[in-house]
């Protein structure tokens, strides 16, 4: 069971990373880049629980940290994704999966990522952090995360139900 779960999580994270880095970053949308990888991590945390959400979040964050177009200290995104995966998985009762609540959690998590990343970057002395753009980035990241969640959460739930039905929390 855990082997199928690991393979599914790896494939979904890889597909989200490639799609985000090769397609979503080049769309030229105003504000933040849609964060498909974080939305995928949160969707997996919703279905598998907080522990898997934290592990998948850390792995996905490290993959993004080592992606060629990423600049900055290694491990910051991994740390934030790990916390987001754990908190998102723990925040949702598996018996009560209310879609508006799930989409709200995803949107708020994407917005929280922007603030956490800028805050840690400021502490570490990253000169690229511009707090004047934070409100715009926060708003667009929240909006894009919620919109992506409308498509990603049902798709992940269907895949998990078909491939690993016994592992669902």
pLDDT (0 to 100) of residue 52? 93
pLDDT (0 to 100) of residue 77? 92
Taking 70 as the pLDDT cut, the residues of the chain under it are 1, 70, 94-95, 167-169
pLDDT (0 to 100) of residue 84? 95
Q: How far is CA 106 from CA 3, 26, 69, 73, in A?
A: 27, 22, 24, 25
Q: How far is CA 110 from CA 2, 46, 136, 161, in A?
A: 28, 15, 13, 25
pLDDT (0 to 100) of residue 169? 56
pLDDT (0 to 100) of residue 167? 66
Domains of the chain by residue range: 2-24+32-157
Cα–Cα distance for residue pair 123/128, rounded to 1 Å: 12
* Domain 2-24+32-157 classification at class level: mainly alpha
Alpha helices in the chain (DSSP H): 2-22, 36-48, 50-65, 76-91, 99-123, 134-163
Cα–Cα distance for residue pair 100/68, rounded to 1 Å: 35
pLDDT (0 to 100) of residue 122? 87
């Amino acid at each position: 069971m855990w082997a199928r779960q690991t393979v599914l999580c790896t494939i979904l994270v890889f597909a989200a990373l490639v799609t985000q880095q090769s397609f979503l970053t080049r769309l030229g949308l105003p504000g933040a880049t849609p964060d498909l990888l974080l939305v995928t991590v949160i969707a997996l945390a919703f279905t598998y629980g907080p522990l898997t959400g934290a592990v998948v979040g850390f792995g996905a964050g490290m993959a993004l940290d080592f992606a060629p177009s990423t600049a900055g200290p290694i491990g910051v995104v991994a740390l934030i994704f790990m916390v987001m995966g754990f908190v998102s998985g723990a925040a949702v009762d598996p018996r009560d999966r209310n879609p508006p609540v799930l989409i709200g959690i995803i949107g708020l998590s994407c917005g929280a990522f922007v603030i956490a990343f800028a805050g840690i970057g400021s502490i570490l002395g990253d000169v690229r952090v511009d707090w004047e753009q934070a409100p715009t980035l926060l708003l667009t990241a929240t909006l894009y995360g919620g919109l992506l969640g409308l498509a990603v959460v049902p798709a992940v739930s269907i895949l998990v139900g078909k491939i690993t039905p016994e592992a669902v929390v």
